[in-house]
Chain A
Amino acid sequence: MEYKVSLGPQHPALHEAVSIRMTLDGEVIRDADLKLGYSHRGIEKLAEERSYVQNIYLTERICGICSHSHTTCFTQGVEQLMELVPARRGLYIRTLIAELERVHSHLLWLGVAGQEAGFESFFMYTWRDREVVMDILEWISGNRVHYAMNIFGGVRRDIDELQKKKILDSLGLLKQRTDYYLNLAASEPTFIGRLAGVGMLSKEQAVALCAVGPTLRASGVPMDVRKDDPYAVYAEIPFEVCTADSCDVLGRAVVRVKELIQSYNMIEYLLKNLPEGPFKVKAPRKVKPNEVYSRYEAPRGENVHYIKSNGSDKPERLKVRAPTLANYPATIAMLKSGFIADIPLIFAAIDPCICCAERLVQMDNAYSGESRVLTFSQLRAMANERSTKVNTKKKDIAWPF
């Protein structure tokens, strides 16, 4: 018979409170359903009451990992509304931060994947190397997570020669380490054995369910906003879109490692071709009534902001679609017909301790399939009633359960 098991909302996925309800047949997941909204903060409503400059810092708080993605997506949209051409040096620095952020996000993901696959040393290695990128970001912006680099017309801080040299030196180490990871992902038999064939998502499914980012690219669809709809200076930088055809978790890991190598090359190119001149230009405070649809390739996939202005210094409407939401329908498809043991891999880290917070127990009769909801006191009364009825003196005693 089939059982329904709920997981979450506490900590099933990469630090996000989301609840999954699964219908299980033994260890096989037959159906899965997601319940969202545990961290809904009303940012879209809040943005309508903040000025454009305030909203840069508000959108930065949408995500703690791809904070630069949201500010860049918002900033470049508003720049289009203002008909403002940002400073070229500013755009280069903005792109540089974007690629550094992709490196730190992908290294973080690799570590989590390694841990969930039972490969703890991989987790330790990648997170150690991630500190190198975090240090670079701190040298440039003064912060490890919320860089606060974007402003309308460019960026808020410049890069000097010493910083450039330091970043290029650190990149050498990262490149060397990432080559090792690529080699490891392609040759370590235990790692491959754990990841290959898990969380299959066919190309047709991925397209129909509108998946984005490395999830989509690992299913063999070369969609990347940086190539399809170049923003900032991506039209000038040489890079390749990384894909894999295996449609599983291994493919997603390989795509991310390959993207890391592409990002290192891009960072090197950006630093060596950094144009001279101002890094920001002055921007107006008010924006003419118009609307813009801004796209950005965040580390996790396509990030979308729709901004409508009304002539004042506050937006009429800001619509944000973060990449994770777009990947949820695909995640459900991946979970189906997988094993319980694969959930952490598919859905990243899951805390399996599900306590009945409401002091509620659901009893399933294993023979008839009937279920009832009982409180603990009812359950205790039932148990007492049963135990008093048992006649322990009889010789042909039958186990009452």
Chain B
Amino acid sequence: MNNEAIIEKINAELKDKVQEAVAAAPRRINVKVDRKHLLAVLTFIKDQFRMSHLATITGVDLGEHFEVIYHLSNDAVTINVRILTPRLEPKIPSVCALIPGAILYERELQDMLGLVVENIPDPRRLLLCDDWPEGQYPLRKDWKFERPAEIIPGGK
């Protein structure tokens, strides 16, 4: 099934849920949805096109909003499903019930961008250390690393 056929099918059957579906490159389709329709769209894509492989979930800081992209592939095409979530209320639904392999990527999003994944089965930290301060999210654009002043024991 090629790009055109997939886009046609998505537009025909998910007309009211999908905001945009375009072919970005050969074997790449970008789909934009509202976050309240995310699970319905992912279920449709997974079942209709046998796209059970979720490569990863990317989070991007756009300033006012966060963009969250779900990269799904089958043996021919990759579909990038993207949602926007406002910075003041950064909530996204968990997709673990649909794709169990998504758990580590959702935990990573919570760590690095401070998104709140609703109904996540395992909300613990993944990558940051245990004594990392609360409310610090390194991949947000306004987060800057400041190296602490070096103290030489017994030095000047």
The residues of A with any CB-CB pair to B shorter than 8 Å are 36-37, 40, 42, 44-45, 80, 207-211, 222-223, 227-229, 292-293, 295, 302, 304, 306, 308, 316-317, 319, 321, 325-326, 328-330
Contacts and interface: CB of A to CB of B under 8 A. Distances in A.
22 contacts: A37-B128, A37-B129, A40-B128, A44-B112, A208-B99, A208-B101, A210-B101, A228-B74, A229-B27, A229-B78, A293-B78, A304-B55, A304-B71, A306-B56, A306-B69, A317-B58, A319-B58, A321-B56, A329-B100, A329-B101, A329-B103, A329-B104
**A contacts with B: majority SS:** mixed
Contacts of B71: 293, 304, 306
A132 B22 CA distance: 47
B139 interface: yes
B50 to A, nearest CB: 10
Contacts of A42: 138, 145
A210 B102 contact: yes
B110 interface: no
A325 B104 contact: yes
B46 to A, nearest CB: 11
Residue of A210, A222, A308, A329 with most chain B CB atoms under a 10 A cut-off? A210
B75 interface: yes
B104 A304 contact: no
Given A329-B101, A329-B104, A228 B73 contact: yes
Interface in B100-118: 100-105, 112
B55 A321 contact: yes
B54 interface: yes
Nearest to A46: B145
Contacts of B61: 317
Given A209-B100, A304-B71, A308-B60, A44 B139 contact: yes
Interface string B23-64: 001011000000000000000000000001111101111000
A281 B76 CA distance: 30
Interface of B: 25, 27-28, 52-56, 58-61, 69, 71, 73-76, 78, 80, 99-105, 112, 125-129, 138-139, 145
A329 B96 CA distance: 12
A40 B126 CA distance: 10
Contact of A36 (B58, B100, B101, B126): B126
Nearest to A38: B129
B128 A319 contact: no
Given A42-B138, A210-B99, A223 B53 contact: yes
A317 B60 contact: yes
User: Which are the 3 A-B pairs with shortest beta-carbon distances?
Assistant: A210-B101, A321-B56, A37-B127
Contacts of B59: 319
Given A302-B55, A321-B56, A208 B100 contact: yes
Contact of A80 (B25, B55, B78, B104): B25
Nearest to B107: A36
Given A306-B71, A326-B56, 18 more contacts: A37-B128, A42-B138, A42-B145, A80-B25, A208-B52, A209-B101, A210-B99, A228-B74, A229-B76, A293-B78, A293-B80, A295-B73, A302-B55, A321-B55, A321-B105, A325-B104, A328-B104, A329-B103
Contacts of A321: 55-56, 105
Contacts of B139: 44-45
Contacts of A40: 127-129
A207 B25 contact: no
B149 to A, nearest CB: 19
A92 to B, nearest CB: 21
B58 A228 contact: no
Contacts of A228: 73-76
Contacts of A227: 75
A329 B108 CA distance: 14
B18 to A, nearest CB: 19
Contacts of B125: 37
Nearest to B75: A228
A176 B28 CA distance: 41
Residue of B69, B74, B101 with most chain A CB atoms under a 10 A cut-off? B101
Contacts of A229: 27, 73, 76, 78
A40 B61 CA distance: 20
